[in-house]
Copies of this chain bind each other. A is one copy, B any other.
Amino acid sequence: MGGGAVKVRALSSLGRDIALARGGGAFALRERSAAATIVRAVRRDGDAAVLRIVRRFDRPEARQRGLVLDAKAIGRSARTCPPETRGALDLAYVRIRAFHERQRPRESRRRDARADLRLVPSPLGRVGALVPRGVAAYPSTALMTGVPSQIAGVRELIVASPMPRDGSVDPALAYALELVGATTVYRAGGAAAVAALAYGTASLGRVDKIVGPGNAYATAAKWLVSADVGIDALQGPSELIVLASSDADPDVLALDLLAQAEHGAGAFAALVSDDADLLRAVDRALATQPKARVFTYRARDLRSAARAADEAAPEHVLLAGRAAAALAAQVRHAGAVFVGMRSAVAFGDYVAGTNHSLPTGGTARWASALRVEDFVRWTSCVSLRGDLRGLARAGAAIAEHEGMRFHRASMEARA
């Protein structure tokens, strides 16, 4: 246990610690019932209900006309974005585009003497993207949802983002929205925005799918409306597990862990290493920020550390140092794996090119990063010809077994 560093825990408690941090999931009963009340109100009263909620939380003097911004208004605000920020967003956009271009969906097809079978992709018609506001606007989130939507060829991208106190539109956000070709901004966030996108209001047509992150209320609302509209995922607080071998740089790792903690309440940041000296050095570096909550674990060996991380299925894993990086193929149940000491997780949040919208809360057991695939749907196409007697005979036998006599007759009529 490498004496001294009293905070260092045994690897065996990582699973329990992350489960505790996750609590009951992406939202609790309290958020669920609050979201249900809001969804009901917006379904009933539309924009008026949204305005009541906006006035309560964001901007008391908000007026109905101000709820919807068109592409022209977005353009006006974008022109005031400072050149340095613009250049940074351009670089991010180009890199995110380049990676997501590789995900373009391709038709799959099988032909034989009797059948031409195809699975044909087509872009979604109208997508609503949530872009939350924290202390500031998040243009990076607009890029991460907008780029795959744009590559898929979505006809209309409607962005829902809370109205700031001064009623303006953040210029960097507007610039990002222009880059991804957003057609409309609905200036509300949270559960109200989700309900408005799902069911439509006087000023906003309903969408086919809602994507993007939100607070626990927005997430609960996404779940509530998911029987009536497509959703991407139910995202909870951010998570990082760092696996570090002895050659990792402790001061730089401390920055990664503090960056993770910076995501605020509920964020989970953990460091696992087989090197007690490294753990102590990181602890010392973290001492400058005593409030940041970071868990550190001592592992007997890195392979068992990788196994524990894979079982926890966190949002991010960083493999820092050469021996840790060698285990990349062992960690599959994670939203994103950053390989090597130079691959700061923060690069993935902005400019690496991968998507920062990732599965959290252990949902990486079945869910994935936001992808072009999330903005596409597929139609099966079946065209039959030639001698269909063999198919009809087999189909009839199964239909008969399943008690479907007209199914049987309809196939035999083609033989």
Contacts and interface: CB of A to CB of B under 8 A. Distances in A.
Interface of A: 25-27, 84-85, 87-89, 91-92, 95, 98-99, 101-103, 108-110, 112, 115, 117, 119-120, 122, 124-125, 134-140, 172, 208-209, 223, 226-230, 234, 251-252, 255-256, 258-259, 261-262, 325, 328, 331-340, 342-355, 358, 363-369, 371, 373, 377-385, 388, 390-399, 401-411, 413-414
Contacts of A368: 377-379
A105 B171 CA distance: 39
A373 B365 CA distance: 14
A319 to B, nearest CB: 9
Contact of A227 (B27, B112, B333, B347): B27
B136 A401 contact: yes
A18 to B, nearest CB: 15
A235 to B, nearest CB: 11
A136 B365 CA distance: 34
Contacts of A333: 377, 379
25 contacts: A25-B227, A85-B398, A85-B401, A88-B398, A99-B117, A102-B110, A122-B332, A124-B365, A125-B365, A172-B398, A223-B226, A229-B366, A230-B366, A251-B413, A255-B406, A259-B407, A262-B404, A331-B379, A340-B385, A343-B383, A344-B413, A350-B399, A351-B391, A366-B377, A373-B373
A262 B405 contact: yes
A336 B262 contact: no
**How many copies of the polypeptide does the oligomer hold?**
2
B110 A399 contact: no
A229 B361 CA distance: 11
A119 B252 contact: no
Given A84-B397, A347-B395, A358-B380, A366 B124 contact: yes
Contacts of A344: 384, 410-411, 413-414
B25 A402 contact: no
Nearest to A118: B354
Given A124-B366, A343-B382, A347-B382, 20 more contacts: A99-B110, A110-B353, A119-B369, A124-B365, A137-B401, A139-B401, A139-B402, A226-B226, A230-B366, A252-B414, A259-B406, A259-B410, A328-B381, A336-B379, A337-B382, A339-B381, A347-B391, A349-B407, A350-B394, A373-B373
A334 B227 CA distance: 18
A403 B405 CA distance: 66
B102 A346 contact: no
For the complex of A and B, 10 pairs with smallest distance between CB atoms: A230-B366, A88-B397, A368-B378, A336-B380, A259-B406, A88-B394, A102-B108, A255-B410, A346-B407, A258-B406
Contact of A382 (B84, B354, B367): B354
B342 A402 contact: no
B402 A85 contact: no
Contacts of A402: 134, 136-140
A383 B322 CA distance: 12
B398 A351 contact: yes
A121 B94 CA distance: 24
Contacts of A409: 255, 258-259
